[in-house]
Homo-oligomer: A and B are copies of this chain.
Amino acid sequence: MSTGPKPQTIGAVERAADVLNAFTELDGATAGVTELSDRLGLSKAVVHRILASLRARGFIDLDEQTRRYSLGPASLALGLTYLQQIDVRDAARSVLRDLSEQTNETATLSIRRGDVRMYVDQVTPAREVKMTVQLGHPYPLHAGASSKAFLAHLSAAHVDEYLAGPLEALGENTITDPVLLRLDLGEIRKRGYAASFGERQEGAASIAAPVSDHENDTVAVISVCGPVERFRDEVGAIAPVLLEATRELSRKLGWEG
């Protein structure tokens, strides 16, 4: 992050960006003016004008029957343009599928940008009770196996800086004590993978391991996740399969061990 003075910004533009970000955080695909107004603390008139402006440029669609708003095609264009800059998702697809088949659980792929990470792909097993994750939603780096797998492989300076900030609890089991977290990160590095039982999402368990590229950077994290009740018994069998999958994808990305 920049240490200089903060550059001049435009409040109206920031508020519009807040509106767009709200759509990635909401549970439903559509939102109404009042809902966004309450959520963001803006007047209905402002929200309405922002939505109308973004709609004029393709970022927002309006269903004129229900009078509710959803993301528009320019949003997709933006995301796919961003994805063009990375090809990890394509390379990982077959690895994820094999991993899901071998474990009979959900396999996910995450990437990190700054101090957040997000799921960018998943393969779910052909069974009724299973986990599915929300693609694109940003998560902090301390909560959940995939997040901690990234955090454990950042530089010591970056870890220090991250742990000096607020550690938000996503659920009852999220580790928010920096001392405990450091111990966990040490275990993760020694063991090769991170584990989480309800830290990011109650009822959900997962193990996750990093994927490296030709520069030995951690460019992605692969996880296997499922409902807590049955996952505890499966971890021992899943871990070596996960580690082999991450090695396979790492080799694909030019990692040489």
Q: A residues engaging B (CB < 8 A)?
A: 2, 7-14, 16-18, 20-21, 23-24, 29, 48-50, 52-54, 56-59, 61-62, 64, 70-85, 93, 113-114, 116, 118, 120, 134-138
Contacts and interface: CB of A to CB of B under 8 A. Distances in A.
11 contacts: A2-B62, A7-B49, A8-B52, A10-B16, A61-B113, A78-B78, A79-B136, A80-B135, A81-B135, A81-B137, A84-B135
Contact of A76 (B8, B20, B118): B118
Contacts of A24: 74, 77-78, 81
A55 to B, nearest CB: 8
A252 to B, nearest CB: 15
A70 B85 CA distance: 10
Contacts of A84: 29, 134-136
Given A9-B52, A21-B74, A78-B79, 15 more contacts: A8-B49, A9-B56, A12-B13, A13-B49, A16-B17, A17-B56, A20-B74, A24-B77, A71-B82, A72-B113, A75-B78, A76-B136, A78-B136, A79-B80, A84-B136
A128 B113 CA distance: 33
A61 B1 CA distance: 11
